[in-house]
């Protein structure tokens, strides 16, 4: 079974080696959807409580929200933001045999998105 939850955070970034408008500092509302995979627990009838996912993601977003992403992530393209979040989420659930990170999708503003799935 796969369950997902969507979150938002606001942050600025710039892509100095890019020749377009993104070369200059600008901000976005970043939309992040995480999907977790596992078996349904026989007692709770769920894989994980959505509130637990929220608490985990708040910890991951804390250093990103209302920040300059370049200070946290090297060359913060949408793809690199996905990799950053996926790695932290995977680290958090590495102890949990029954829960795996299935995917992370990050949408940059209202435009495009990047998505990483588990290997």
Catalytic residue selected from 13, 28, 84, 108: 108
**pTM of the model as a whole:** 0.94
Q: What is the pLDDT of residues 66-99, one digit of tens each?
A: 999 999 999 999 999 999 999 999 999 988 788 9
Tokens of 70: 């370049």
**Of all residues in the chain, what percent are helix, strand and coil, respectively (each to 5)?**
30, 35, 35
Q: Is 8 annotated in the active site?
A: no
Catalytic residue selected from 52, 66, 98, 117: 66
Q: Is 108 annotated in the active site?
A: yes
Q: Does domain 2-117 have CATH number 3.30.479.10?
A: yes
Domain ranges of the chain: 2-117
Catalytic residue selected from 22, 37, 79, 83: 22
Q: What is the pLDDT of residues 40-55, one digit of tens each?
A: 999 999 999 999 999 9
Distance CA 119, CA 117 (A): 6
């Amino acid at each position: 079974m796969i369950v997902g939850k969507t979150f938002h955070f606001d942050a600025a970034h710039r892509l100095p080696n890019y020749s377009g408008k993104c070369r200059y500092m600008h901000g976005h509302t970043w939309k992040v959807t995480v999907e977790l995979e596992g078996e349904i627990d026989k007692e709770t009838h769920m894989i994980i409580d959505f509130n637990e996912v929220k608490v985990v993601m708040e910890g991951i977003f804390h250093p990103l929200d209302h920040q300059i992403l370049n200070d946290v992530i090297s060359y913060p393209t949408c793809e690199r933001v996905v990799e950053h979040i996926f790695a932290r989420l995977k680290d958090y659930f590495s102890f949990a045999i029954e829960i795996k990170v299935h995917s992370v999708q990050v949408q940059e503003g209202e435009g495009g998105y990047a998505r990483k799935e588990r290997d």
